[in-house]
Each structure stands twice: as structure tokens, then as C-alpha cells.
Structure 1
Amino acid sequence: MKEIEEKVIHSFYNGMNCAQSILTAYADHLKFDPAFALSVSSGFGGGMGKLQKTCGAVTGSFMALGIYNSQKHFENIEARNATNQMIQKFTVDFEAMYGSLDCKALLDCDFTTDEGDSQFKDKDLKKNVCSKCLADSVKLIEGLIGEK
């Protein structure tokens, strides 16, 4: 788990968005193409296209859980049901930690405005919020995968 968490944080501080950081960190472990993962998750950072909706750490985690289950279950319906159960558990646990899944609520600023962008930088929210959401997302994923 520590290795994946370190990959996630390194990627996040070196140009990947939060969803990309989570998803690509699992490429080796789950044996999928990291370049494809980078592409497919490119629009999910900043709360889905910088709309500050669902946090990219969350959406990246959902994608990783889907890949995990699609490799574990041979039938699509079984994989989908297992993924839905894991996503529901992840959601409950993440919301219990942070009170929301939404980027804007998590950061308590609107970084799409000049004022919010300044607040994001001044309060170092990338480190003080985003990095924690990423690290906790890895822990939640690992806990869910470990349960199955």
C-alpha cells in the first residue's frame, strides 16, 4: 500500500491530476496499460473537468475498483455488482472522513475564480487537502480489495 500511495503523491506533484494519479498508480498492480489509464482519467481532475464536482481522487478510485472487479469476476453483471458494492462502501467511508465527495466542498473554495485560485495557493490546499484525500483514497481501496 505504501508504494502505491507514494506513486500517487509523486504523480500528483508531477503533473497528473488527482484521478490520473490514483488510476495510473494501480496500473502495475492490476496489470493494465498506464498510458490508457492516463488518457481515460484525464477529464476527471478538479472535480470532473475542473467543475469541482466529485473529487478526482474519488472518481479515480472508482475506476480502479471497476478494473479490479472486472479482472476478478468473469461475468459483467458480477463485476458490476461487486464494483457497485465497493463504490458504495468507499463513498460512506470517504464521506465519514471528509463530509463530502465534492471537490468544492472539500477545498472550501472555488478555484475557478481568481479569488479562489489565490486561496487554493495561499492555503496550500494541494498539500493540506488534496494530498490527504489521495492518500486516504488509497487506504480505502486497499481495505476494500483486502476484504474480498
Structure 2
Amino acid sequence: MESRIQKTLENHRKGYNCAQSVACAYCDLVGLDEQSVFRATEAFGLGMGGMQATCGAVSGAVMLAGLKNSCGDLEAPVSKGKTYQISKQLVEAFQKKNGSLVCKELKGVETGCPLRSCNDCIADAAELAEQILFAEK
């Protein structure tokens, strides 16, 4: 797969929030159309609905993990454990690289000292999604 990191940044420049920027760039790889993914990730922006909590970029990558790995079996949801492992791998790698998962910490809202810009967080989440979720094995 050719890298889509630039596509995630283009999405952000168009006005997509951080979660939308990441998730929409890879939606075809999980069998969904862009508008559906755009709508589903809208509330994740600015750290979960503007609460400056979990970074939207990593939230978008975690959503992709579920969409890619879930068995989708409503009667026997046996894929949860593996999906949680994949999500944990994404989240831990993002936190290690950026020093936090929290939007307001990443932006330096309280300290005045940002750890990462939104564009950097988007690029990092996209890179991790490509490495962990979409790498050809």
C-alpha cells in the first residue's frame, strides 16, 4: 500500500477534524465509504467532542482497528480480545512517540508548551495505522 499520510494532512486542511482526517483516508481499506466514516468520527474531534481529552487522531486510528479486525458477529463477538491488543499497540506507540494521549497536553493548553501539533499527531497516527493495521504481511 502506498502511504496515505499526505492524504490525512490534506483532509485536515480541508477542515476535517483530526479523527476524520485519519479515519477517512483509510476508509476504503475497511470497506466503508468516506461520508459514513466522516459522520461516525465527527464527535471525536478536539479530544472527544471538544473536551480536550483523548486525541482525535489516535481515536480515528483506533476506530480503524475495530473496523479492520472485528468479526462483526453480533451473536458471538469473539474478536474483541485481538482488537483490544491491536488498539493497545496503536495507543502505546502513539503515547511513546508523543508523550501523551490527551489533546490539551499535546497542544500545551495549560502549560503553553505544546508537545505536538495537530498535523504532527495526525501524521503519527496515520503512520502507526499503516505500520500496525495495513502493513502487507
Compute the TM-score of the two structures, normalised by the length of structure 1.
Answer: 0.79
Which of 98, 119, 123 is residue 131 of structure 1 equivalent to?
Answer: 119
Give 1:101's aligned amino acid.
Answer: L
Q: CA RMSD in A?
A: 2.3
Structure 2 residue 130 is the aligned partner of structure 1 residue 142: yes
Among the aligned pairs, what percent are the same residue? 34
Counterpart-to-counterpart distance in 2, 1:52 and 1:99: 15
Query: Shift of residue 147 of structure 1?
Result: 7.9
After TM superposition, give the deviation of residue 34 of structure 1 in Å: 1.2
- CA apart distance, 1:59: 0.7
Instruction: Compare the two structures and name the one with the higher helix fraction.
Output: 1
State how 1:48-67 maps to structure 2 within 5 Å: 48-67=48-67
What is the alpha-carbon distance in structure 2 between the residues aligned to residue 7 and residue 80 of structure 1? 29
CA contact 2:3–2:130 (8 Å) conserved in 1 = no
Match of 1:87 in 2: 87
- 1:28 and 1:147 mapped to 2: Cα distance? 16
Structure 1 residue runs without a partner (length 5+): 111-115
Deviations 1:18-42 (A, max 9, x none): 0111111111222212111111111
TM-score, with structure 2 as normaliser: 0.85
5+ residue gaps in structure 2?
Answer: none
